[in-house]
Chain A
Amino acid sequence: MASLIACPHCGPRPKEEFTVKGDAAIARPAADAGEDAWYAYVYLRDNPRGRHKEYWHHTSGCRRWLVVERDTLTHVVYSVSDASTQGGTA
């Protein structure tokens, strides 16, 4: 796993300061999408080899939710951004 994450607010920090929530690419289904769609949304996850977008929480830093795009094979971190800039929900 990538060991240094460049928090856009705090600068480079070790992964121990963060909590990983998981896949940031999945979309929440509509309320009436049906049981299969909701089952997939809640429980089913890919285990990608390569480029991957995840939610990371800077738990022991600024306490912001971030979106980290990284490679699970090479550990390269492509980008780190505040999660509020993705969906405009902050």
Chain B
Amino acid sequence: MVDFALLHRSALAGAKTGSFGAVSTGSRIALTALPEGHVLHVLAAHGSGALQSLVAQIGDGGPYAVRAYGPGQWFVVGDAALSAADLSGKAALLASRASIADQSHGRVRIAISGASVEAVLAKGTAVDLDQASFTIGHSAMTLIGHISALITRTGTDSFEVMVLRGFAESLWDDLIQMSLEFGVDASTAD
């Protein structure tokens, strides 16, 4: 018998929402907390060879479900929560060539979009975000200010930023601050 019930609470449930900064209309930034579905950290076994296509099989089929992190490491993300059975099914598909560490409650995804989104993110990271080198679907783990985050381009004017749960609200506030000159509309699901 537990002394108190564990309650799942969205990391950004209490984050500030609304419209901030400039009243411009053309290049406003939209900041959106994404569903805390699943985030799977996939790690290749030593000497397991090229795994990209195998890792793709445990994704939900979404266009940017698999995100390269470093050599032999990926994040597989999606909006749907996974059961223990779903997870063991995915682990079986990897056939011991890679293992899964479930980070669904450990990392949070934030969508950021708008015509000036590159200029906003460039205030925090030194990664070249120009679409010629940072193509749609590309990911990069980097620092945004002092916070580590995985940046993924999801469109010409849109990115996703994935961050450790405990840093999510700080990064959220930073992203609002970085967007003020363009005007920003921030919304969470709750």
Establish whether residues A90 and B143, one from each chain, have CB atoms under 8 Å apart when the complex forms.
Answer: no
A63 within 8 A of B: yes
- Using Cβ atoms and an 8 Å threshold, which residues of chain B touch A17? 126, 142-143
B88 to chain A, nearest CB (A): 26
Q: A9-B70, A10-B140, A17-B143 are in contact. Are A60 and B126 (CB under 8 A)?
A: no
A44 to chain B, nearest CB (A): 33
Establish whether residues A14 and B141, one from each chain, have CB atoms under 8 Å apart when the complex forms.
Answer: no
Establish whether residues A60 and B142, one from each chain, have CB atoms under 8 Å apart when the complex forms.
Answer: yes
Establish whether residues A62 and B142, one from each chain, have CB atoms under 8 Å apart when the complex forms.
Answer: no
Establish whether residues B70 and A60, one from each chain, have CB atoms under 8 Å apart when the complex forms.
Answer: no
| Contact size range, A | 10 to 19
B107 to chain A, nearest CB (A): 14
Establish whether residues A60 and B141, one from each chain, have CB atoms under 8 Å apart when the complex forms.
Answer: yes
Interface hits, B136-157 → A, CB 8 Å = 140-143, 148
Q: Which residues of B contact A (CB under 8 A)?
A: 46, 69-71, 73, 126-128, 140-143, 148
For the complex of A and B, the 8 pairs showing the least CB-CB separation, nearest first, are A62-B70, A14-B126, A60-B143, A60-B148, A61-B141, A17-B143, A9-B71, A63-B70
**Mind listing 22 A-B residue pairs with CB under 8 Å?**
A9-B70, A10-B70, A10-B140, A10-B141, A11-B127, A13-B126, A13-B127, A14-B143, A59-B148, A60-B141, A60-B142, A60-B148, A61-B70, A61-B140, A61-B141, A62-B69, A62-B70, A62-B71, A62-B73, A62-B141, A63-B141, A64-B70
